[in-house]
Amino acid sequence: MTTATERMAEDLAEGYHDVTQGLARMTKHLGADAGDAVSQSAAAFVLAASDLAEKMKTQAEVLAKRAGQEVREHPIAAATVAAAAVGLLGYAITHTRRARRDV
């Protein structure tokens, strides 16, 4: 289960990296001396989004660690929940396909 936790952490890190790159590009396009109200609002948005992305990264790391810990502490319950989730997903997919064929 450690590899799954590590994969989740890597995926989250990649997503965070993409967000920060996008925010950096936005900041670059806004320019250093944004004088008008729209530019100032956009710059404030970029700063808020960057702050939110940082908080989300921290929360995601904590959740990934907790999930890994829960799986290690309760492997049978985790396997049961995973099996139920796969079953529900399979049911949803087949139900959606049938609904599309009936239309």
In one letter, which amino acid is 2? T
Q: Which domain holds residue 52?
A: 2-73
- Whether 77 shows a pLDDT value over 80: the answer reads yes
Contact indicator for 67, 8 with CB cutoff of 8 Å: yes
Evaluate whether residue 80 is within a structural domain: no
Note whether residue 87 is domain-resident: no
In a domain, 99, yes or no: no
Instruction: Identify whether 23 is part of a domain.
Output: yes
Residue 101 has pLDDT above 70, yes or no: no
Average pLDDT over residues 84-97: 83
Answer yes or no: is pLDDT of 22 > 80.
no
Does a structural domain hold residue 82? no
Average pLDDT in the 79-94 region?
85
The backbone torsions φ and ψ at residue 36, rounded to the nearest 5 degrees and listed phi first, read -80, 165
In a domain, 92, yes or no: no
Mean per-residue pLDDT of the chain: 75
Number of domains the chain is built from: 1
Per-residue pLDDT, averaged over 54-73, amounts to 80
pLDDT at 34 over 70: no
- Around Cβ 64, how many Cβ atoms within 10 Å? 20
State the Cα–Cα distance between residues 14 and 19, nearest whole angstrom.
Answer: 9
30 confidence band (pLDDT: 50, 70, 90): low
Q: Is 79 among the domain residues?
A: no
* Burial per residue of 40-62, b for 16 or more beta-carbon CB atoms within 10 angstroms, e otherwise: eebbeebeeebeebeeebeebee
Q: Has residue 25 been placed in a domain?
A: yes
Q: Left if phi > 0, otherwise alpha if psi is -120 to 50, otherwise beta: which for 97?
A: alpha
